[in-house]
A and B are shown apart, each in its own frame.
Chain A
């Protein structure tokens, strides 16, 4: 449905997007995962037609988006990273303005506004000024403002930044519903939990490059280990941690070691080594690796760096 072919965007000497190629299928929720400054927002703005790529092409159903044709713009809806609303106006006034900019008017526009406000439980507050809304309410309104014209593809550029857990969950549920109804969603985030929960396929980007692309299972399968073992990082475990280093990846963060054993290294050998250092089994927790591990494995740095 949506194709990016070798898309590149530079700002002076900085290559913000470096030859990204990918295809997004109709009805899927596609995640663009990467840390801040990875090139996610630039990629989204290129797709939305806000910027023109220096090289490569972007097409929707075979039609180039770069030309900025009005009918193709109507096929896209953008949820900006900021709460892009007029805070001195009411929710209803905001939706009316953005609906009219997409060519809606009259009874149809009123019906769409009613529907949108109901979908994010803001009907009762429709005439209140946006500046009186909580952060979560404003984010929900920010989301539905991009859906009034019923786009084929929804571009969500980190739409939950600064949102409380409850509102974030409400946004996820709404997006999941839209996805079930067949809307194609491209969702950029630096939270692996969001990508894991929402997205059927995920592209991992860093320094403008697409490092990996696939379903969660496909990405995890790229790891040379199947388990990740955590244990406290302190003076007692320090000699053990040093002894583990040759047998896999060992990282330390937040007073905890995370050990990803090399493929050939057996768990039985791990626990034997622990016992030889006098460490009890209760110190260790084992879990399936996450996208964080994939990112670390692919880029050599943490998503949070």
Chain B
């Protein structure tokens, strides 16, 4: 055992001398975790994208269009551009003709534009007329922008729909019947809920059903009574059955995913150090002493597992500081899962070193496999975003099972007994991969 301990200490001394290795192991993943935490809005009430440039052309003078522009300007997701700057520096309202040239130009100032035409609420058809110009270079961004636009329109100016309905009703019924119809409804509302029938009729004719029916009359104080109206039509009750008490749900996945990915990088680098030691002739010197090949390999394995536990715990503690992940309640179970995950990752690194002819080949293979396993295993994004047939491969990766383990502890708060299946799978991966690595090492010339 003593040679293993001596070699282990040597590896740690070497590691802490190597600033690049320390940086890759702790600082880089810390930065990535922070960045992805921000991207996914961990712990932010206003999660989602911010400041996407959106050109808005208001071609008419409809008051609801002005209200929609104001609502878009108030939305943090967008930075609304509604003016065109002439070459002489003067400004004028943006026109529809300005959009295409600007969006097709190199370094376009915006990739999305919304045109509110003069006939926004058309008299000839039901609904609103909107035109959206886009340069969908980034599909995710395009979908996000479309979704955000729809949300803004339907939550802030739904009375436009009402107004559209009213305009069409007026066209079909004629003024007299239209007035009589709305007057009847206003009287009925006033009888049922109170209020001035004339004011209610004016609200109905403007298309603002919410204010008419519930807002002012019910006196809810809601700043957006029409949205409130729609919310009352469809009632959704949400019940969270797992992790209801977890303060930082998204962070557990982000920290676990990035931590395991960088652990794989760190341990692959550690395993490929076998080549450097071989090339420097150090194995000759060590093996000339009373030290066996097995002791060298097990010292590397022990080093990888200890470094892995250390790295994972440091990054989860960083997650505690950054996102409030509740680590302290689960320290012992988290340590056990980290140990099993680190062992699986170490065995992976050892296998890479065993099957590769040199450090460069091992490094290239490691990068390819780690990126593949990380994306498939759910370290970058939820695996449910991937096609179903690809999701089947996720379960073949140690990244997936490591993240399952972290999630089981930090998200679901599972007991040791409940963790056993995941630990068994990680243990099985370690045993199988390590056995394969040792078999390959015995046939390779790494110690020659």
Give the residues from 4 to 44 in chain B that come closer than 8 angstroms, CB to CB, to chain A: 6-7, 9-10, 13-14, 17-18
Q: Which of B7, B17, B285 contacts A145 (CB 8 A)?
A: B285
Which one of B56-64, B287-295, B333-341 contacts A? B287-295
Scoring B18, B284, B288 by chain A CB atoms within 10 A of each residue's CB, the highest score goes to: B288
Pair B10/A97 contact, Cβ less than 8 Å: yes
Pair B282/A84 contact, Cβ less than 8 Å: yes
Report the separation of the CA atoms of residues A87 and B290 in the bound assembly, to the nearest whole angstrom. Answer: 23
**Number of chain B residues close to chain A: CB under 8 A:** 23
Pair A100/B290 contact, Cβ less than 8 Å: no
Pair B10/A78 contact, Cβ less than 8 Å: no
Binding site for B on A (CB under 8 A): 45, 48-51, 70, 73-74, 76-78, 80-89, 93, 97-98, 100-103, 129, 145-146, 149, 155
Whether, in the assembled complex, B53 has its beta carbon less than 8 Å from a beta carbon of chain A, the answer is no
Residue on B nearest A48 in the bound complex, by CB: B288
Pair A80/B287 contact, Cβ less than 8 Å: no
Pair A101/B282 contact, Cβ less than 8 Å: no
Contacts of B17 in A (CB 8 A): 88-89, 129
Q: Which of B18, B284, B291 contacts A101 (CB 8 A)?
A: B291
Report the separation of the CA atoms of residues A80 and B9 in the bound assembly, to the nearest whole angstrom. Answer: 23
Whether, in the assembled complex, B281 has its beta carbon less than 8 Å from a beta carbon of chain A, the answer is yes
Pair B290/A73 contact, Cβ less than 8 Å: yes
Pair B282/A73 contact, Cβ less than 8 Å: no
Contacts of A102 in B (CB 8 A): 289-290
Report the separation of the CA atoms of residues A255 and B289 in the bound assembly, to the nearest whole angstrom. Answer: 48
Report the separation of the CA atoms of residues A48 and B291 in the bound assembly, to the nearest whole angstrom. Answer: 12
Query: When A81-B281, A97-B6 are in contact, do A89 and B13 touch as well, CB less than 8 Å?
Result: yes
Q: Dominant SS at the A interface?
A: loop
Pair A82/B289 contact, Cβ less than 8 Å: no
Pair B14/A78 contact, Cβ less than 8 Å: no
Give the residues from 261 to 286 in chain B that come closer than 8 angstroms, CB to CB, to chain A: 279-282, 284-286
Pair A50/B10 contact, Cβ less than 8 Å: no
Scoring B14, B285, B286 by chain A CB atoms within 10 A of each residue's CB, the highest score goes to: B285
Whether, in the assembled complex, B49 has its beta carbon less than 8 Å from a beta carbon of chain A, the answer is no
Residue on A nearest B289 in the bound complex, by CB: A101
Contacts of A80 in B (CB 8 A): 281, 284-285
Report the separation of the CA atoms of residues A73 and B290 in the bound assembly, to the nearest whole angstrom. Answer: 6
Contacts of A145 in B (CB 8 A): 285
Query: Given A73-B289, A89-B13, 17 other A-B contacts at CB below 8 A?
Result: A49-B288, A50-B284, A50-B287, A76-B288, A78-B284, A82-B284, A86-B14, A86-B282, A88-B14, A89-B14, A97-B7, A101-B286, A101-B290, A102-B289, A103-B290, A149-B289, A155-B288
Report the separation of the CA atoms of residues A51 and B448 in the bound assembly, to the nearest whole angstrom. Answer: 8
Residue on A nearest B17 in the bound complex, by CB: A88
Pair A82/B288 contact, Cβ less than 8 Å: no
Residue on B nearest A45 in the bound complex, by CB: B284
Pair A100/B288 contact, Cβ less than 8 Å: no
Query: When A70-B290, A73-B288, A73-B289 are in contact, do A101 and B281 touch as well, CB less than 8 Å?
Result: no
Q: List 5 A-B contacts (CB under 8 A).
A: A45-B284, A83-B281, A84-B280, A88-B18, A97-B9
Whether, in the assembled complex, B3 has its beta carbon less than 8 Å from a beta carbon of chain A, the answer is yes
Give the residues from 241 to 265 in chain B that come closer than 8 angstroms, CB to CB, to chain A: none
Whether, in the assembled complex, B235 has its beta carbon less than 8 Å from a beta carbon of chain A, the answer is no
Query: When A80-B284, A86-B282 are in contact, do A74 and B14 touch as well, CB less than 8 Å?
Result: no
Give the residues from 392 to 432 in chain B that come closer than 8 angstroms, CB to CB, to chain A: none
**Nearest Cβ on chain A to B215's Cβ, whole angstroms:** 72
Whether, in the assembled complex, B45 has its beta carbon less than 8 Å from a beta carbon of chain A, the answer is no
**Nearest Cβ on chain A to B208's Cβ, whole angstroms:** 73
Report the separation of the CA atoms of residues A48 and B285 in the bound assembly, to the nearest whole angstrom. Answer: 9
**Nearest Cβ on chain A to B297's Cβ, whole angstroms:** 15
**Nearest Cβ on chain B to A176's Cβ, whole angstroms:** 23
Contacts of A93 in B (CB 8 A): 13
Q: Which of A49, A86, A146, A155 contacts B10 (CB 8 A)?
A: A86
Whether, in the assembled complex, B2 has its beta carbon less than 8 Å from a beta carbon of chain A, the answer is yes
Contacts of A98 in B (CB 8 A): 285-286, 289
Contacts of A155 in B (CB 8 A): 288
**Nearest Cβ on chain A to B296's Cβ, whole angstroms:** 11
